[in-house]
Copies of this chain bind each other. A is one copy, B any other.
C-alpha cells in the first residue's frame, strides 16, 4: 500500500490551490490529489461556454500547476476513509495511507425534486463536470426553446449567454421579485432585470415553476404559478448547490446545519490531521458572524492558501477570519458587484446600518468615449463608521473596484477614513478625482449618521 504525506480529495480550485501552496511550502513531502474526472472546468467560466467561449475545451482547468510542483494526480473515486488507520479506499480497489487528509469535495447542483416532472429527460442542472457540460452544450445547441429555473448568478449568466444565439427563445423563471436578489438590493437588482430583458431573455419574476411538463418521459414545457405554459426542449435548473459531504459524513466528520463540514479558522476538522476546504467546508460570515453557506471559488482559494501555508504547522496567522463573499457579474455589458452586508443582509441579520449612495460615470470628463454610468451604494455601521457592505453598478472597472471595498471591510476601514483616502484617477480609466464615487458615498453615509444623531 502506497503512503503519502498528504492526500487531497477533489480537483477543483480549492483542492488544486491547497496542493500547490502546501507542496511549495513543503517540497520534501509527498502529495497525491484524487479527482473523479480526468478533465476539470473553471467553475465560474461555465456559463460562458454556452456562447462566448463556444466550446467546453476553452474553459478547461486541470491540476497542471500542482503537478508542476511535483504533486501526483490519480483519477479515481474515494469511497471510504478510516481516520483511525489513516487509510482510504477507492473505486478502482486501491488503498492509500496518508499523514494529512484534505477534503476538497466541492458541491453538486440541487435537484429540484419538489417540482413535479423534475426527473423527465431534458431536465438538466449546471453540474461542474467537463463531460456533463460538454453534453449539455450540445443539447442546447439543437434546442429552440429553453427554460432556466432560478435567477441567481449562474441562472442569469446562462440565460444571457443562451439568449445571444439568434435561434433560441430563452425564459428565466425566478420566484423572488428580482434577479440576483441575494446579492443586490431592489434598486440594483431591478437594473439587472432590465439588462436581462434587454439581451432578449423572457424574464418571469415572482413566479414559480409549478410543474415540468413532458410526454413520453421527455420534457416539453413548464407550467408556471401564473397559469402560463411555456414550451421547452430543455429545462435547466440552477436553484443552488449542495456541499458534497457524503464521504466525510460516512467517515465521521461533523457536519453543520448547512450540510457543510465543520472547520476552524485553519480549515481543521474535529479529527486530527483531517482538513476541509472550499464549497464542502463551513463558512462563518465575516460581518454577520453566523454560519453562512457561501460557495465561491474566490473564498475557496483564500481558504486553500491559508490551509496550504499551515498544513504542517501554523506559520502564517489567518488575518481575515470569517468569510466575506464578493460577487461580480456582467449582464449585457453592464457590470454588477457586491460584497458584505448589503441592505437586506443587514436587515435580516439585525445589523444597524446607514447607506451612502452616489452616482457618476466611470471616466472623466464624461465626454470620454467609452464612458459607463457608475453607481455605488455603501453600507456602514452608524456606531463607528466601519464599512460593512457595498453594491456597485457600471462598466468593467467595477470588477476590481469592489475589491477596494472588500479590502476595506476586511481591514475594518471606516467611512471617516475614506475622506482622506488617496486614490489614483485617470480620464481614460476611472471616475474624476473630485468625485471619486467611493469617497463621495462615504461622505453621504457620514451625512446620514449626522442626521440620525
Contact A330 B428 (CB under 8 A): yes
Shortest distance between the CB of A298 and any CB in chain B (Å)? 4
Kindly state the separation between the CA atoms of A316 and B286 in the bound complex, as whole angstroms: 27
Kindly state the separation between the CA atoms of A325 and B425 in the bound complex, as whole angstroms: 11
Cross-chain contact of A324 among B369, B422, B427 (Cβ < 8 A): B422
Chain B residues whose C-beta falls within 8 Å of the C-beta of A369 in the assembled complex: 52
Kindly state the separation between the CA atoms of A413 and B329 in the bound complex, as whole angstroms: 27
Contact B368 A425 (CB under 8 A): no
The answer to whether the Cβ of A252 comes within 8 Å of any Cβ in the partner chain is: no
Kindly state the separation between the CA atoms of A330 and B296 in the bound complex, as whole angstroms: 32
Contact A399 B419 (CB under 8 A): no
Contact B399 A429 (CB under 8 A): yes
Contact B365 A425 (CB under 8 A): no
The contact size tier of chain A is 35 or more
Contact B396 A423 (CB under 8 A): no
Contact A427 B306 (CB under 8 A): no
Contact A337 B424 (CB under 8 A): yes
Cross-chain contact of A423 among B59, B326, B413, B416 (Cβ < 8 A): B326
Shortest distance between the CB of A137 and any CB in chain B (Å)? 15
The answer to whether the Cβ of A269 comes within 8 Å of any Cβ in the partner chain is: no
The answer to whether the Cβ of A341 comes within 8 Å of any Cβ in the partner chain is: no
Chain B residues whose C-beta falls within 8 Å of the C-beta of A432 in the assembled complex: 42
Contact B302 A45 (CB under 8 A): no
**Which residue in chain B gives the minimum CB-CB distance to A331?**
B428
**Which residue in chain B gives the minimum CB-CB distance to A439?**
B305
Contact A301 B433 (CB under 8 A): yes
5 additional A-B pairs beyond A318-B420, A328-B429, beta carbons within 8 Å, are A16-B434, A300-B433, A316-B419, A402-B424, A407-B408
What are the 6 closest A-B residue pairs judged by CB atoms, nearest first?
A: A399-B429, A326-B424, A58-B367, A400-B400, A319-B417, A298-B433
In the assembled complex, 16 residue pairs joining A and B whose CB atoms fall closer than 8 Å, in A order, are A13-B434, A42-B364, A53-B365, A53-B367, A300-B433, A305-B420, A316-B416, A316-B419, A324-B422, A335-B428, A399-B424, A399-B429, A400-B404, A406-B422, A407-B408, A407-B421
